Chains A and B, each alone.
Chain A
């Protein structure tokens, strides 16, 4: 369910306009048959869509205007939940914490991934290397969370052991208010950097090699080529990858839910997804949780529109 459109699938986009002649050359009987057949083809998806996407969306909006504890029927309270939201310090904290996480995560992940992709692009085509970098992305976030909770254990964690060897007097821990959020952001960057690097690498493969050859003959160095060829030509893909990672990182939940051993996270890492989860399933306040989720709908709606525009999902390429 917590699924984000994977960017690497975004590309099977045909040239716009391949479908312009839709049906015009088919005989009329065929067109009549098509109408009947089409709804049969669509039936399973339409059922799934109406029951588990459309109807729940409408219900979710309705819940956000109700007081609903899951036990009694939802009771309409108008805009009360939203009014409460404005004065809810925990909600604002969740937004702030999420925003901080998104920025740190996106910046560190994208910068490192861009560097990795450029190195791979100029040095090697090894599939083994790419497969290795993909592994953290394949692994459940729950496993990743456990693994890093162990590596960063204050007493026995290997990372803290290494820090001790350097003589520094610091202990990294998810329970330290100063370190918790940077650590969560770094762990998730660690998870997704390889994946992001592969997407950017795939984009770099589209750049015609002769551009580099020409530049090399003109005496351009690697850094110059990266700045003048790779970066400008990669911009559309870089933008798409950025938006998709942004959408994804607003929805951070698993890592935070796991690194505290199943207990609630400290305020410094209580992200918005977790706050919604807590409101709905710890306090059984479905109505209020839905109102908070509505805020997320608005934020992500803007970003997704941007993403769809980049994927050119406009109906203009419908025949």
Chain B
């Protein structure tokens, strides 16, 4: 590979190592803080490993200790239910990813393969929506969800992005265009209808792009903050990101409850980390598979 000097090669590896350390260390510090008893925060702020490691910060976030013990461990004693928030986040991002991917695949297929009047206009209008930044539609969508009486409920939370995003339609259509036409023509001769063609032939052939867009949707909705912040304030519909924000504001004293916040932060990344571990190769490789040719 590198034909240059040994020194240059070493310097290059050193640069990559620095990048990895800079990427990983903040997360290490997050875990380290989460394992520190709140009482030790001032006395033990800089050692690389806490002198008295503890799991109590996690325990109080998951409501495994009573409010008294939680207060003693540095919490505000206010009810905070990270297990519920995690569950809400899983439902929120899972539901959106599955339903949206499926609906957009159907539409993408129709736009790519079916002939009907108004097709190009309909597609053009949907693509034009890419130009409208989310904040612009968030304002009226908030009013709409409010008028429908769906504020602070899971349906109100998921509805706006449940069925589609213009980008997913665009992306899947582009992929379906590239499927060889012969496959479908052969199936037509066998008497397979349009639905059968989509369901039994096109979808299985498109596993890669479907997983790619599904995964990306999971990640984006997992990270989502502004919309759930506006519409999911109630305890029952609160997702993790909003829960962390609420937790931050609930700090009992002047200083934030850093050990608890870092424990919550750790909880908020475990699920996406699991996703990366089990589907990491897929996720990382999807970047070259789609490889912006």
Contacts and interface: CB of A to CB of B under 8 A. Distances in A.
A59 B115 contact: no
Given A52-B160, A54-B129, A290-B136, A1 B276 contact: no
Contacts of A7: 292
A110 B89 CA distance: 31
B160 A1 contact: yes
Contacts of B27: 135, 147
Q: How large is the interface on B (under 10, 10 to 19, 20 to 34, 35 or more residues)?
A: 35 or more
A124 B269 CA distance: 27
A237 B292 contact: yes
A208 interface: no
A86 interface: no
A194 B225 contact: no
Given A34-B114, A199-B287, A199-B292, A143 B171 contact: no
Interface in A1-17: 1-3, 5-15
B268 A140 contact: yes
Interface in B256-293: 256, 258, 261-262, 265, 268-269, 272-273, 275-276, 280-281, 283-288, 290-293
Nearest to B230: A281
Nearest to B127: A313
B149 interface: no
B136 A293 contact: yes
A142 interface: yes
Q: Interface centre among A122, A123, A138, by most B CB within 10 Å? A: A138
Interface string A181-205: 0000000001000100011011101
Interface string B164-194: 1111011100110110010001001000001
Contacts of B139: 56, 60, 63, 276, 280, 286, 289-290, 293
Contacts, number: 384
B245 A142 contact: yes
A156 interface: yes
Contacts of B129: 49, 53-54, 57
A75 interface: no
Given A37-B195, A56-B140, A135 B276 contact: yes
A57 B136 contact: yes
Interface string A100-128: 00000000000000011001101110010
Q: Which of B13, B110, B292 is packed against the most chain A CB atoms within 10 Å? A: B292
Contacts of B152: none
A124 B255 CA distance: 44
Interface string A119-162: 11011100101111111111111110011111101011010010
A44 interface: yes
A83 interface: no
B69 interface: no
A88 interface: no
Interface in B105-160: 106-107, 109-117, 119-120, 122-127, 129-144, 146, 159-160
Contact of A41 (B42, B109, B125, B240): B109
Contact of B135 (A35, A63, A150, A273): A273
Most chain B CB inside 10 Å of its own CB: which residue of A7, A8, A39, A119: A8
B42 A156 contact: yes
A115 B15 contact: yes
Interface in A208-254: 216, 221-222, 237, 240, 250-251, 253-254
Contact of B280 (A131, A143, A289): A131
Contacts of B20: 129, 132-133
B253 interface: no
A48 interface: yes
Given A3-B161, A147-B265, A253 B114 contact: no
A47 B241 CA distance: 28
A30 B188 contact: yes
A55 B144 CA distance: 10
A296 B139 CA distance: 14
A270 to B, nearest CB: 15
B193 to A, nearest CB: 8
A270 B236 CA distance: 31
24 contacts: A1-B134, A3-B134, A6-B167, A11-B290, A18-B178, A19-B112, A37-B195, A38-B114, A42-B111, A45-B126, A45-B163, A46-B107, A53-B129, A53-B132, A56-B137, A122-B2, A127-B280, A127-B281, A141-B223, A142-B241, A143-B244, A150-B30, A276-B139, A318-B120
Sorted nearest first, the 7 A-B pairs with minimum C-beta distance are A48-B163, A14-B178, A11-B290, A1-B227, A56-B140, A45-B107, A41-B110
Given A11-B290, A129-B16, 13 more contacts: A6-B167, A19-B112, A33-B194, A49-B126, A52-B144, A57-B140, A120-B16, A123-B2, A123-B9, A139-B223, A258-B245, A258-B248, A305-B131
